[in-house]
Every structure is written in structure tokens, then in C-alpha cells.
Amino acid sequence: MNAPKLMRTEGETLFGNLSGTRIVPDEPFRQGTENQEEVKMKKSVILGAATVAGLAAGAAAAGTVDDIKARGKLNCGVTTGLVGFAAPDANGEWQGFDVAVCRAVAAAVLGDASAVEFVPTTGKTRFTALASGEIDMLARNTTWTFSRDVDLKFEFVGVNYYDGQGFMVPKSLGVSSAKELDGATVCIQTGTTTELNLADFFRSNNISYEPVPIETNAEAQQQYLAGACDVYTTDASGLAATRATFENPGDHVLLPEIISKEPLGPLVRHGDNEWGDIVRWTLNAMISAEELGITSANIDEMAGGTDNPEVNRLLGSEGTLGEMLGLDAEWARRAVKAGGNYGEVFAKNIGEETPIGLARGLNAQWTEGGLLYSPPFR
């Protein structure tokens, strides 16, 4: 027997957007939701792609590494605020899993992990900010996709979190599967892969929904808790981070369905290969350090030389890897020491001992059954 539809009792629904607020009748909107939303999303992507790609080509030609060294700080694009990933603490200092990548890169290039200007971006503004040169890199739970890589002209330097899209609902809603959400209102961030994933999932399961478009995670949280939507959908890690900030996290459940692949990672502009190499190998240094047993506590001792040639190459006691990047021999040592290896950063910000409580899962090292794997330092 099919589960009953989740219907709103009001005769009209209020929607806000950049051009103002409009009121539409519920039922006609519901009947054509999936097709209408897909058309809007695809048009938005097509219209914006050429502009973003053009900006990226021009900005990359300027030489990002030289610009960063000249200004003495790294401009790093992050989310507007997602606890555990990127958010200011009580003292206004940015903390989080993605923030740690920015700080590691700053330490590698500038010798100072605090020499970072964190630039908050939304799902809509992040790509323009990177393409225009307003930011040097983006470390903002951003999914690596074909079109973003090829059409928008960005270079994803790796994956720092393997994720997938999920759903969060109030426990009081009484559903145990996303397939029971027929007729539900869904809070969804605009300008993200989750928009099309959502449309695909509901269409393939022959169920309908009403989107409640939002710009930021903070807005989504506010709307969701106020009852403006039945469901909040985004990356599962983001849902866990958001739920951890609720006054009563136990009143909300994450449904079992993961409906997409969301490989999240830092990115730079196409054509700036020297800079891309630095960001890529800084992330790889954090990943390799965990595999090789290098931690923030023992790194100074191990930098003096070990019996493992790869450790020595990574930390600069032998070889010329730093020189190949245009950096000194201790670049990776500084990057890892800034916040720890990948495992330390994960555990501190989003791991099982934090309120967010994420298990390593796919983000475990390849030696532990996960997907985390760095090319060799040689």
C-alpha cells in the first residue's frame, strides 16, 4: 500500500527569490514540479557556463602563486558557515575540515598557516568568485563533476571527502524512507548538484515534491526548523553537521537513502598548472602523512630522517620535491604540521568523537578499506 501523501493544508505557497516574492497555488505547481524545475536548472547552468569559463581563463593567466606571495596571504573560498567543515568559532577564527586544507596550503606557500583570508561563498557565488580571481582556491564542499571540470574550466585537485546526497526529516513526520516523501516540501540550496539529483530521484520513483529554494545552510536550517519545509536535502555530511547544531538533534533523522555520488574536493582555475600542483600535492601530503604514520606530534622528529625513503622525500630530508614545486624543502612539513595529517583533521572536526559523529567509511585509507589514496611522493 502506498504511503499517504504529505500535503499542505494552505491553499497557497509563498516563494521568495532574487526578484521578489510570488504566491502560487499549491496544486498546479505540484503537478509540474519535476519538469519545470529541471528546465530552470538546466537553463541556469547553460547561461552561466560561458561567463564563468571566460573569467577563469583570464584570471589563471595572471599567475596565482606570484599574486599570493606578493599580497602575503591566500584568499580561500569557503562555505558561508557549516559547523565542522567551515565556520567561525566564538573568537571569530575560522575552523573546520575544509578550513584545514586552506591553512595547510598557506603554510606550504607562505610559511604561515594563519595567512589566509577566508571568503564566504554560496552555491551560486562560489564559481564566479573563483573564475574572476576574487579567490585563489575554493575549498567548499564542492562536488567534482564533468561539467564543472570541462565546461566551467576548473581544475579539481583531488577529493578530500567522498560523500552522497541524503535527506533529513523530523522524527515526528513518521517516515522511514525517502520513497515515502510523495508531496513533501523540500528545502534545497540553489546552484548545487543536489537540485538535479533531487528531481531525478523523485521522477524515477514517480513521486512529487515542492522545492523551497534557499541560498545558504543557515537559511536552510532556519526554514527547516520553522516548518517551512518537510525535508532538508544536501550532502549527508552536511546534514549530520547541521543536525549537530540543533537544540534537540534526536528529534530529527537521516533517512537511509544516499541518492548520488558526491566526491568533494578543492579546486582552482584551469590553466594555472603551477598553482594547481601546489594545492594538489598539499592535499596529497596530508593524506600520505596519515598512511606513513606522520603526525603533528612526531613530524619534527621524523623530519630529521627515517628509514623510509618516502617519508624522507615528503618531509624534505632528501630529494628535491619542493624545488619541483617552486617551494623550499620543508613545504610539506609545514603543511602537515599546521593542522595534522588527514586523519587528525578528520577526527578533530567531523569524526566520531565530535558532535557531528561521522565515521571514516569511504574516507578511510585504502589500507583500511576506504577510497583514500595518494599517488607516491617520488
Going from N- to C-terminal start, the domains of the chain cover 12-31+165-260, 52-162+264-368
- Are 330 and 303 contacting, i.e. CB atoms less than 8 angstroms apart? yes
Give pLDDT, residue 35: 47
Cβ burial of 198 (10 Å; 0-12, 13-18, 19+) is: buried
Q: Which of 363, 358, 333, 334 has its CA nearest to residue 348?
A: 358
CA angle at residue 312 from 265 to 328, to 5 degrees?
Answer: 70
Long-range contacts of 305-313 (CB under 8 A, 24+ apart): 310/376, 310/377, 310/378, 313/377, 313/378
H runs (alpha helix) in 151-269: 193-204, 217-225, 236-244
As a whole number of angstroms, the distance between CA 343 and CA 370 comes to: 12
The conformation of residue 352, written as its DSSP 8-state character, comes to: T
Give pLDDT, residue 52: 53
As a whole number of angstroms, the distance between CA 318 and CA 247 comes to: 52
Strand locations in the chain, DSSP E? 12-17, 20-25, 74-79, 87-88, 94-95, 116-121, 137-138, 154-156, 161-163, 165-170, 184-189, 209-214, 231-235, 252-254, 262-264, 267-269
Give pLDDT, residue 55: 53
CB atoms within 10 A of CB 46: 11
Give pLDDT, residue 261: 95
Q: Which of 213, 249, 231, 220 has its CA nearest to residue 169?
A: 231
Write the single-letter amino acid at 209: Y
Homologous superfamily (CATH) of 52-162+264-368 is: Periplasmic binding protein-like II (3.40.190.10)
137-138: strand order across its sheet: 116-121, 74-79, 137-138, 267-269, 154-156
As a whole number of angstroms, the distance between CA 306 and CA 293 comes to: 12
- For the chain, how big is the Rg over CA atoms in Å? 22
As a whole number of angstroms, the distance between CA 287 and CA 374 comes to: 6
Fold topology of 12-31+165-260: D-Maltodextrin-Binding Protein; domain 2 (3.40.190)
CB atoms within 10 A of CB 186: 22
Per-residue pLDDT of the chain (378 residues; tens, 9 = 90+): 444 445 443 333 333 333 333 333 333 333 343 444 444 444 444 444 445 555 554 444 448 999 999 999 999 999 999 999 999 999 999 999 999 999 999 999 999 999 999 999 998 899 999 999 999 999 999 999 999 999 999 999 999 999 999 999 999 999 999 999 999 999 999 888 898 999 999 999 999 999 999 999 899 999 999 999 999 999 999 999 999 999 999 999 999 999 999 999 999 999 999 999 999 999 999 999 999 999 999 999 999 999 999 999 999 999 999 999 999 999 999 999 999 999 999 999 999 999 999 999 999 999 999 999 999 999
CB atoms within 10 A of CB 359: 10
Please give the grid coordinates belonging to residue 372: 583514500
The two domains 12-31+165-260 and 52-162+264-368 share their CATH topology (first three levels equal): yes
As a whole number of angstroms, the distance between CA 167 and CA 243 comes to: 11
